């Protein structure tokens, strides 16, 4: 592990413990070159995931990109950041434990929408507007009509 202060390669772990939500290991490190102390977080990765885009292009899965998209959808909403972190960790665990190394971007979007729907309606609509590629106000109206008139059984209607 490289030191963030002097870029030295020789660091020692002084303390190691799981995070409160048990999704990572928190390691307290010290650099033997400059004496700088810093913390790293290591996550267990069950498998390498590849995202298959709608165009057919394949890209490596990035947890941080998923986290950022959820944070954007929930910006200025009364949702605890720890709740967002747990939600994203749950989605990643679902993807990694699915048994597939390739996952469709559409499937990731559905998992996020499902999770957001139970957390915050505004965040859900914001994410859906990008995920479903709303182009006009009519698209919002139609989606909000579905949202207000649907039961939970209709939550998977994405390709209308």
Is 35 in the same domain as 91?
Answer: no
Task: Please give the pLDDT value at position 143.
Answer: 75
Is 54 in the same domain as 132?
Answer: yes
Burial class for 15, CB neighbours closer than 10 Å (0-12, 13-18, 19+): exposed
Q: Identify the sign of the CA torsion 115, 121, 127, 130.
A: positive
Is 55 in the same domain as 33?
Answer: no
Query: Over the stretch 28-82, which tens digit does the pLDDT of each residue have?
Result: 999 999 999 999 988 766 668 999 998 999 999 999 999 999 999 999 999 999 8
Strands 50-52 and 102-104: parallel
Tokens of 128: 């859906």
Is 29 in the same domain as 54?
Answer: no
- Segment 18-34 mean pLDDT: 87
Is 27 in the same domain as 101?
Answer: no
Task: Please give the pLDDT value at position 112.
Answer: 95
Q: Which helix (H) or strand (E) holds 103?
A: strand 102-104
- Segment 121-144 mean pLDDT: 79
Residue 28 lies in a domain: yes
Residue 105 lies in a domain: yes
Is 58 in the same domain as 128?
Answer: yes
DSSP 15-57: EEEE-TTSSSEEEEEEETTT--EEEEEE---SS--EEE-TTS-
Q: For the chain, how many structural domains are there in total?
A: 2
Task: Please give the pLDDT value at position 44.
Answer: 65
Query: Over the stretch 71-113, which tens digit does the pLDDT of each residue have?
Result: 999 999 999 998 999 999 899 989 988 888 899 999 999 999 9
Is 33 in the same domain as 82?
Answer: no
Is 32 in the same domain as 90?
Answer: no
Residue 14's CB is within 10 A of a number of other CB atoms, namely 10
- Segment 123-141 mean pLDDT: 79
Task: Please give the pLDDT value at position 158.
Answer: 44
- 88 within 8 A of 70, measured Cβ to Cβ: yes
Burial class for 124, CB neighbours closer than 10 Å (0-12, 13-18, 19+): buried
Quote the pTM value: 0.63
Residue 152 lies in a domain: no
- Is the pLDDT assigned to residue 156 strictly greater than 50? no
Is 57 in the same domain as 33?
Answer: no
Domain range enclosing 16: 11-42
Is 37 in the same domain as 56?
Answer: no
- Segment 107-135 mean pLDDT: 87
* Helix, coil or strand: residue 157: coil
Task: Please give the pLDDT value at position 45.
Answer: 60
Is 118 in the same domain as 102?
Answer: yes
Task: Please give the pLDDT value at position 138.
Answer: 77
Is 84 in the same domain as 104?
Answer: yes
């Amino acid at each position: 592990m490289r030191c963030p202060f002097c870029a030295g390669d020789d660091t020692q772990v002084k303390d190691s413990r799981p995070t409160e939500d048990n999704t990572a290991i928190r390691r307290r490190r010290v650099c033997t070159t400059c004496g700088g102390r810093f913390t790293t977080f290591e996550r267990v990765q069950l498998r390498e995931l590849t995202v298959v885009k709608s165009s057919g292009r394949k890209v490596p899965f990035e947890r941080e990109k998923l986290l950022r998209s959820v944070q954007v959808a929930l910006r200025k909403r009364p949702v605890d950041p720890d709740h967002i972190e747990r939600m994203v960790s749950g989605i990643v665990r679902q993807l990694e434990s699915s048994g597939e190394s390739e996952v469709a971007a559409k499937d990731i979007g559905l998992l996020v929408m499902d999770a957001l729907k139970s957390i915050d309606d505004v965040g859900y609509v914001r994410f859906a507007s990008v995920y479903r590629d709303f182009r006009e106000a009519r698209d919002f109206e139609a989606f909000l009509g579905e949202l207000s008139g649907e039961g939970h059984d209709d939550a998977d209607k994405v390709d209308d």
